[in-house]
């Protein structure tokens, strides 16, 4: 058997020929992956098997924890097995009982993988189909020993099997499996700045994925480093919510010789099981547009009670999309710059770029990232690149130790046209990026020079200050029979709601007699002049009721002024005419207001009472990254003559069809 990982994987996948008819195509991986793992583990254990069995006889009376320590030491591996069985010794009878006992004899971490694969259920199905012995025999004759195939090569084989499994069940693949071309691009962008360090012999780095799925990003990171430096060691860490994906990831890491207790099962947002860890590299493809209602209480509590000492200090996005929570989680895992710092690559949809106005959770998160100078690059990907969605997606690259020339800058790369059509679609995935196109994007990132598809901005260029523009309240008053009747009716209705026994002949509403005297008179264009006609003293609530029924906004009227309080003598704002303006952070709000607002509404003013919580200045600071706007290219409309010609052609075709119907 060749050591070429693709042909080895194809050889193993050929076992699926036995399953046709009895199993669905989407179930093949559920049989092949755990059996591949089982065969690899027994091949790796073979040299120390007898020593472990001998030691087991000596220590089997000890508590389980003590047993495990001794047996792991004896095996000199992160796992062991205390059964005398292997796939070649199961016999032709009682195969199900024998293989079940064999799997149960693995050490805890290895055994747990098979449990999350639901391996026992599929063994039962194989037995019912009279296929169990045949499958076991097939795998028993595949040489997966370290002498035949190294950990690195075996990792590639297993990854290829995972890919085949994902493609055979592509209706759900996108939830837990990121296409390899996207993984490769993201990994290359994250690691490319550290090529020099990664060529040093014996170097150790850590890689982390909080939504590890089947482990594609972790595997790609290790593969990338191995290509640069086979003597480097990459320690993998991850957490995954889906039990089956977790089992696949953990199996992959076990095959690659990783510490599998670094792979955790559970919800990263509500139960971070690697709470104290920091990492060199972080890669993630969190679910797009998935709500976080199930963990809302835990997340809200962490934000409220821990603030910036927790993960979600800057703010919380709307509950319908948790993508930015995963980004904040990753940022909390940054290693101290003095210890080398960290880099992040995360795949997000378009929503985190612009959703939420100034002061919203999303805007505050963007603000924190940009003002902390953590965002390095955003790459817009082509559409139709993922198995379960065709929407626009973006790779964000973040770093807390930017190169000198990148400080205070953000690079945007528009790679939407860099793709090749796939010969066969896989779910929604109809396009892929070739190695050359991936290299092109990585080179654009590395050169840090502007072009038609690459632009560089100061971080402040994405910020703005949302000011509140007020216009004066200008009221004109007119009294008519109908308005007066409505005023009285409402007064009576409110009085009877308070006391149903009240008499109809109760005292008339405030100002009734004066209002009666004003019926039919011309509009009064000043609130001050209007109320000067009333001799009785009225409360603010009564004046408000009169304004409600007899006043209307009129630009020709005299502006209303506050009559008491701190604002006495100042113009009163009309809430119906209130507006907002977004002023770029690079510009003073006074200059902007004088240029963009006052020429159109000379009596407007800025509400300086609405200030930003962080800097105390008028207006609320917001941040958005309008990616498409920066790469928009104007397409002139077609000439009218060409449009007319097309219309004439279509009209002629319709007329011809109508004539055929009537003839």
Give the residue-averaged pLDDT of 56-69. Answer: 89
Radius of gyration, CA atoms only, the chain: 35
- The predicted structure's pLDDT at residue 663: 64
> What is the torsional sign of CA 58, 41, 241, 116?
negative
For the chain, what percent of residues have pLDDT higher than 90? 61
pLDDT of 216 higher than 80: yes
Give the residue-averaged pLDDT of 390-403. Answer: 93
pLDDT of 390 higher than 80: no
Give the residue-averaged pLDDT of 565-582. Answer: 92
Give the residue-averaged pLDDT of 244-249. Answer: 86
Confidence tier at 341 by pLDDT (50, 70, 90): very high
CA distance 604 to 347: 44
Contact by Cβ (8 Å): 64, 42: no
pLDDT of 569 higher than 60: yes
pLDDT of 364 higher than 80: yes
Lowest mean pLDDT, pick from 120-134, 165-179, 253-267, 432-446: 165-179
- The predicted structure's pLDDT at residue 121: 92
The DSSP code sequence of 297-327 is HHHHHHHHHHGGGSS-TT----TT--HHHHH
Average pLDDT score over the chain: 89
- The predicted structure's pLDDT at residue 503: 61
Angle of helix 5-13 versus helix 151-168 axis, rounded to 10: 50
HEC-encoded secondary structure of 276-297: CCCECEEEECCCCCCCCHHHHH
Count H helices and E strands in the chain, helices first.
25, 17
Please report, for the chain, the start and end positions of each structural domain, with discontinuous segments joined by +. Answer: 1-168, 173-462, 475-553
Give the residue-averaged pLDDT of 266-290. Answer: 93
The second-level CATH assignment, the architecture, of 173-462 is 3-Layer(aba) Sandwich (3.40)
Q: pTM here?
A: 0.84
For the chain, what percent of residues have pLDDT higher than 70? 96
- The predicted structure's pLDDT at residue 415: 95
Q: Which residue has the higher pLDDT, 174 or 596?
A: 596
pLDDT of 61 higher than 90: no
pLDDT of 196 higher than 70: no
- The predicted structure's pLDDT at residue 1: 38
- The predicted structure's pLDDT at residue 174: 44
- The predicted structure's pLDDT at residue 169: 64
pLDDT of 167 higher than 80: no
- The predicted structure's pLDDT at residue 625: 96
Confidence tier at 446 by pLDDT (50, 70, 90): very high
Confidence tier at 173 by pLDDT (50, 70, 90): very low
Confidence tier at 347 by pLDDT (50, 70, 90): very high
| 118 dihedral zone (left: phi>0; alpha: psi -120 to 50; beta) | left
95's tokens: 């195969």
| 424 dihedral zone (left: phi>0; alpha: psi -120 to 50; beta) | beta
> How distant is the alpha carbon of residue 143 from its chain centre?
41
CA distance 316 to 302: 11
Give the residue-averaged pLDDT of 520-545. Answer: 92
CA distance 274 to 267: 11
> What is the torsional sign of CA 306, 311, 314, 319?
negative
- The predicted structure's pLDDT at residue 4: 63
**Residues with Cβ within 8 Å of residue 490, at least 6 apart in sequence:** 545, 549
**Residues with Cβ within 8 Å of residue 483, at least 6 apart in sequence:** 549, 550
What pLDDT digit, counting tens, does each position of 639-654 carry?
Answer: 888 888 889 889 988 9
pLDDT of 561 higher than 90: yes
Q: Count other Cβ atoms within 10 Å, centred on residue 46.
A: 13
pLDDT of 176 higher than 70: no
Give the residue-averaged pLDDT of 335-362. Answer: 94
**What sections of 351-415 are H helices per DSSP?**
351-354, 361-371
Q: Which residue has the higher pLDDT, 308 or 201?
A: 308
Contact by Cβ (8 Å): 397, 189: yes
Angle of helix 243-255 versus helix 28-45 axis, rounded to 10: 30
Contact by Cβ (8 Å): 166, 63: no
pLDDT of 608 higher than 70: yes
Q: For residue 266, what is the DSSP state?
A: S
């Amino acid at each position: 058997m060749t050591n070429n990982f693709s042909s080895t994987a194809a050889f193993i996948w050929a076992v699926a020929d036995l399953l046709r008819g009895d199993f669905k195509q989407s179930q093949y991986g559920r049989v092949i992956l755990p059996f591949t793992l089982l065969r690899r583990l027994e091949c790796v254990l073979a040299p120390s098997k007898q020593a472990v069995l001998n030691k087991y006889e000596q220590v089997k009376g000890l508590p389980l924890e003590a047993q495990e320590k001794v047996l792991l030491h004896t095996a000199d591996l992160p796992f062991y097995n205390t059964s005398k069985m292997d796939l070649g010794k199961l016999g032709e009878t009682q195969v199900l009982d024998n293989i079940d006992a064999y799997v149960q004899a693995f050490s805890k971490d290895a055994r747990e993988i098979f449990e999350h694969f639901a391996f026992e259920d599929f063994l039962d199905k194989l037995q019912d189909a009279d296929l169990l012995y045949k499958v076991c025999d097939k795998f028993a004759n595949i040489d997966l020993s370290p002498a035949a195939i190294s950990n690195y090569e075996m990792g590639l084989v297993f990854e290829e099997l995972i890919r085949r499994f994902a493609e055979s069940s592509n209706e759900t693949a996108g939830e837990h499996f990121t296409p390899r071309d996207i993984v490769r691009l993201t990994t290359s962008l994250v690691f490319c700045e550290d090529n020099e360090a990664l060529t040093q012999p014996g170097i150790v780095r850590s890689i982390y994925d909080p939504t590890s799925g089947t482990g594609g990003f972790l595997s790609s990171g290790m593969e990338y480093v191995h290509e640069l430096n086979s003597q480097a060691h990459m320690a993998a860490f991850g957490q995954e919510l889906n039990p089956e994906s977790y089992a696949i990831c953990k199996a992959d890491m076990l095959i690659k010789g990783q510490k599998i207790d670094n792979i955790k099962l559970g919800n990263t947002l509500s139960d971070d099981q690697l709470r104290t860890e920091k990492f060199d590299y972080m890669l993630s493809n969190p679910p797009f547009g998935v709500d976080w209602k199930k963990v809302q209480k835990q997340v809200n509590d962490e934000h409220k009670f821990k603030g910036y000492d927790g993960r979600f200090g800057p703010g919380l996005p709307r509950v319908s999309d948790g993508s930015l929570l995963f980004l904040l989680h990753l940022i909390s895992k940054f290693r101290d710059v003095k210890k080398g710092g960290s880099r992040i690559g995360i795949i997000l949809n378009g929503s985190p770029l612009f959703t939420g106005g100034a002061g919203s959770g999303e805007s505050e998160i963007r603000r924190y990232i940009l003002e902390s100078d953590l965002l390095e690059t955003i790459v817009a990907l082509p559409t139709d690149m993922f198995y379960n969605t065709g929407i626009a997606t973006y790779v964000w690259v973040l770093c807390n130790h930017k190169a000198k020339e990148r400080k205070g800058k953000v690079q945007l790369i528009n790679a939407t046209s860099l793709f090749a059509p796939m010969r066969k679609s896989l779910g929604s995935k109809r396009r892929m990026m070739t190695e050359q196109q991936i290299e092109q994007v990585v080179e654009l990132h590395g050169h840090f020079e502007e072009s038609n598809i690459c632009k560089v901005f100061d971080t402040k260029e994405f910020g703005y200050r949302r000011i509140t523009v007020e216009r004066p309240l200008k009221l004109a008053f007119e009294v008519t029979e109908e308005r007066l009747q409505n005023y009285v009716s409402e007064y009576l209705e409110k009085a009877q709601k308070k006391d149903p026994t009240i008499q109809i002949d109760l005292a008339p509403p405030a100002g009734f007699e004066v209002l009666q005297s004003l019926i039919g008179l011309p509009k009064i264009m000043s609130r001050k002049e209007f109320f000067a006609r009333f001799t009785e003293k009225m409360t603010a609530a009564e004046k408000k009721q009169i304004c409600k029924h007899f006043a209307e906004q009129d630009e020709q009227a005299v502006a209303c002024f506050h009559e008491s309080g701190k604002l006495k003598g100042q113009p009163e704002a009309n809430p119906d005419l209130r507006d907002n303006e977004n002023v770029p952070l690079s510009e003073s709000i006074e200059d902007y207001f004088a240029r963009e607002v006052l020429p159109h509404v000379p009596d407007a003013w800025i509400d300086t009472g609405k200030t930003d919580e962080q800097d105390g200045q008028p207006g609320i600071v917001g941040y958005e990254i309008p990616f498409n706007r920066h790469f928009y290219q104007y397409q002139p409309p077609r000439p009218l003559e060409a449009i007319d010609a097309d219309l004439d052609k279509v009209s002629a075709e319709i007329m011809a069809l109508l004539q055929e119907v009537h003839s």
